[in-house]
Amino acid sequence: MKKITIAIDGHSSCGKSTMAKDLAREIGYIYIDSGAMYRCCTLFCMEQGLINADGSIQTDELERRMPEIHVSFQLNPETGRPDAYLNGENVEKRIRTMEVSSHVSPVAALPFVRAAMTAQQQEMGSKGGIVMDGRDIGTAVFPNAELKIFVTASDEIRAQRRYDELVAKGEEANFDDVLANLRERDRIDSTRAVAPLRQAPDALVLDNSHLTIPEQKQWLIDRFKERI
């Protein structure tokens, strides 16, 4: 059977990656977390001193050093999920902090960062059989994807999910900061000039505010079966 391309886009912290990972595992496809790639670029900036004290980015220097950023994924046998590697180092835990979350959207808005990551994502998905989640997968990275899903949920529910996730990982978190961060990221992601977050006209919309994880998984599997 021909393997298709599945694009899952939507707002911050609405559970896209949980959905995408579960679906990929169930149907034997490769899962790619495109947000992790932008988080890796952001971690690189933070570690190389390319983010100034006021939060601004040293864009000329970052553009010059983009060829030094290599992102890859390797399956973690313990979790059964792919971990992100930046230049050969496992950075899965370090890219999920609030500090990375607070800088990632301005980094991801830079056109040369998007061009580099989009090219890598298109290469990773060139043979189909992929589930990729992000902001612009169905609109810019794979506009011809056979199945496109646009996920959303209320701000408060999304913030609560992300807050619970951070606390479960032992991170210090404050609910109001998490809520403010996801609203700010949505604002920047939706208004940037290149590949803004928006629903593709042919995407199916899922508001998962009141769905359990097994319910949303079933919804997605049903859509996949319809499409193939």
Radius of gyration of the chain (CA): 17
Element (H, E) at 27: helix 16-27
Nearer to ligand CDP, 1 or 168 (CB): 168
How far apart CA 49 and CA 58 sit, in angstroms, is 9
Nearer to ligand CDP, 129 or 196 (CB): 196
- Any idea what the Cα angle at residue 197 is, between residues 116 and 199, rounded to 5°? 125
Nearer to ligand CDP, 176 or 226 (CB): 176
How far apart CA 20 and CA 148 sit, in angstroms, is 12
Residue 34: CB minimum distance to ligand CDP, A? 4
Nearer to ligand CDP, 5 or 17 (CB): 17
Is-contact 5 144, C-beta < 8 A? yes
Element (H, E) at 122: helix 111-124
Residue 219: CB minimum distance to ligand CDP, A? 19
Question: Which parts of this chain interact with ligand CDP (CB under 6 A)?
Answer: 12-13, 17, 34-35, 38-39, 104-105, 108, 134-137, 185, 189
How far apart CA 70 and CA 19 sit, in angstroms, is 26
How far apart CA 109 and CA 11 sit, in angstroms, is 15
Nearer to ligand CDP, 22 or 136 (CB): 136
Residue 104: CB minimum distance to ligand CDP, A? 4
Is-contact 159 19, C-beta < 8 A? no
Question: Which residue's CB comes closest to ligand CDP?
Answer: 35
How far apart CA 153 and CA 18 sit, in angstroms, is 14
Nearer to ligand CDP, 91 or 137 (CB): 137
Amino acid at 13: S
Residue 225: CB minimum distance to ligand CDP, A? 26
Residue 8: CB minimum distance to ligand CDP, A? 10
Residue 155: CB minimum distance to ligand CDP, A? 12
CA terminus-to-terminus distance, the chain: 9
